[in-house]
């Protein structure tokens, strides 16, 4: 999937050691289908050469407002009119200050000033030493730049090239890529808050053993990412999985079904959408041993008794919040056969307005899936595609079904 297909991005580089990351960012944008026009300030060329950026972007780099290659000699107009966005990465403290004052003494700031402000968004990825970042002048500039319509992509925290540790590093190329992709997504869930469960649960037998299942969590993580892209505030309650947290998503790690229920009950009051993708274990050992169960050499095997786990989805779907229409609940059904019949029955049994069926064994651990949406009006198939693509379609379907008058 090329998330930036058809997008033309002016990538502006200003003076900072983070210029080395801009090379990777340029590649990442192009891999996602964007075309990239690089514009560098004189200071940026001290850190990385235009040759590198030209080779990566497959276009000559611009660096001067007197560039005679443009027939009208107005690179600032021509380049900005073609752009779907101008992304300045790295954006130095000095360049922020220049933008703030409407400075225009070199091509990049001139272009930012000359861009049609309501058609060509300006995205800034600041990069600087932690003291510079924390300085009141920088913080003041950030507030004013945002008020002037720029989108500030934030900074990373950690070890800095100067040897100090703190806030102010430029975000990593993959983080910036995710932010740019998110930026272009329609905000169909703006102002909404979504709670998502994902992954398996782990039900302890003793301190070293337990019962779990093969759910990878990929579908739930994709739903969380897609909801964030759509403008929702997302809380992801995840069972034990080895997946990176989608950018901008608040993650709560849990182990057992009981822990997952507790986290969901705690966070549901702040949410207005609940999507249960987790493969919650149906049963847990009645008594988890607090010491490792040892074999005694007699050939005797331990006998495990089980109790049923709480049904998280059904619990939230029956809450006063959901019954009053203030929490829109979406269930998933992992079936091995008769998907339509099972999904239809499960929707009613769980008491949810929308149930998403899929064939479990065909999708566990995979990057793709196919979904069957079942609601009170009938069914809709979302054909085989990547989980992220399906998650984005599902988010759009949820947004369409949300009561317009959700109280929160």
Of 179, 152, 151, residue with least CA distance to 168: 152
Q: Looking at beta carbons only, is 18 or 198 nearer to ligand CTP?
A: 198
Task: Find out whether 227 and 340 touch, Cβ atoms under 8 Å.
Answer: no
Evaluated on CA atoms 100, 105, 106, 107, the torsion sign reads positive
Question: By CB under 6 A, is residue 374 in contact with ligand CTP?
Answer: no
Give the residue with the Cβ less far from ligand CTP, 29 or 395: 395
Site membership for ligand CTP, residue 44 (CB under 6 A):
no
Residue count, binding to ligand CTP (CB under 6 A): 16
In this structure, are residues 380 and 397 in contact, taking their beta carbons and an 8 Å threshold? yes
Residue 117 or 341 with smaller CB distance to ligand CTP: 341
276 part of the interface to ligand CTP, by CB under 6 A: yes
CB of 330 to ligand CTP, least distance (A): 8
Tokens of 350: 């769980």
- Told to check if 28 binds ligand CTP by CB under 6 A, we report no
CB of 401 to ligand CTP, least distance (A): 16
Q: Is residue 282 within the footprint of ligand CTP (CB under 6 A)?
A: yes
User: Considering the rule CB under 6 A, would residue 41 count as an interface residue with ligand CTP?
Assistant: no
- Per-residue contact track with ligand CTP, 287 to 326, x per CB under 6 A? ----------------------x-xxx-------------
For ligand CTP, which stretch binds (CB under 6 A), given 1-9, 227-235, 274-282, 394-402? 274-282
Measure Cα distances from 100 to 80, 112, 143, 180, 216 in Å. Answer: 18, 11, 10, 22, 46
Helix (H, G, I), strand (E, B) or coil at 158: strand
* Residue selected from 29, 333, 339, 395 as contacting ligand CTP according to rule CB under 6 A: 333
Q: Residue 328 to residues 87, 246, 258, 311, 356: CA-CA distances in angstroms?
A: 36, 22, 22, 17, 14
Residue 282: name the closest of 261, 308, 255 by CA: 308
Three-state SS letters, 17-64? CCHHHHHHHHHHHHHCCCEEEEEECCCHHHCCCHHHHHHHHCCCCECC
114 vs 280, beta carbon nearer ligand CTP:
280
The contact set with ligand CTP (CB under 6 A) reads 197, 257, 276, 278, 280, 282, 309, 311-313, 331-334, 346, 350
């Amino acid at each position: 999937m090329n998330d930036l297909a058809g997008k033309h991005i002016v990538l502006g580089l200003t003076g900072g050691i983070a210029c080395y990351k801009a090379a990777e960012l340029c590649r990442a944008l192009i891999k996602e289908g964007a075309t990239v026009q690089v514009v560098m300030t004189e200071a940026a060329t001290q850190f990385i050469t235009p040759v590198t950026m030209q080779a990566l972007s497959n276009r000559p780099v611009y660096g001067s407002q007197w560039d005679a290659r443009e027939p009208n000699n107005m690179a600032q107009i021509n380049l900005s009119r073609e752009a779907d966005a101008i992304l300045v990465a790295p954006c130095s403290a000095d360049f922020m200050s220049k933008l703030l004052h409407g400075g225009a003494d070199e091509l990049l700031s001139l272009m930012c000033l000359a861009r049609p402000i309501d058609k060509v968004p300006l995205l800034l990825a600041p990069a600087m030493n932690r003291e510079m970042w924390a300085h009141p002048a920088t913080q003041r500039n950030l507030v004013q730049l945002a008020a002037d319509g720029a989108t500030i992509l934030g900074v990373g925290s950690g070890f800095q090239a100067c040897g100090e540790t703190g806030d102010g590093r430029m975000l990593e190329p993959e983080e910036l890529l995710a932010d740019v992709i998110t930026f272009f997504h329609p905000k169909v869930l703006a102002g909404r808050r979504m709670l998502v469960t994902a992954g398996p649960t782990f039900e302890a037998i003793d301190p070293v053993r337990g019962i779990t299942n093969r759910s990878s969590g990929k579908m739930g993580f994709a739903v969380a990412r897609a909801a964030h892209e759509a403008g929702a505030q997302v809380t992801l309650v995840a069972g034990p999985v080895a997946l990176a947290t989608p950018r901008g998503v608040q993650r709560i790690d849990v182990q057992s079904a009981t822990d997952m229920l507790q986290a969901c009950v705690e966070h549901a009051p702040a949410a207005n959408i609940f999507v249960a993708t987790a493969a919650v274990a149906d049963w847990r050992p009645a008594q988890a041993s607090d010491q490792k169960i040892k074999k005694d050499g007699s050939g005797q095997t331990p006998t495990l008794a089980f109790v049923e786990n709480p049904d998280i989805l059904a619990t939230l779907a029956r809450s006063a919040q959901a019954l009053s229409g203030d929490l829109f609940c979406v269930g998933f059904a992992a079936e091995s056969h008769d998907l339509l019949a099972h999904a239809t029955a499960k929707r009613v049994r769980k008491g949810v307005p929308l149930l998403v069926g899929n064939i479990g064994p065909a999708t566990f651990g995979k990057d793709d899936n196919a979904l069957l949406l079942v609601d009170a009006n009938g069914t809709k198939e979302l054909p085989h595609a990547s989980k992220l693509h399906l998650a984005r379609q599902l988010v759009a379907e949820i947004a369409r079904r949300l009561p317009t008058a959700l109280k929160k």
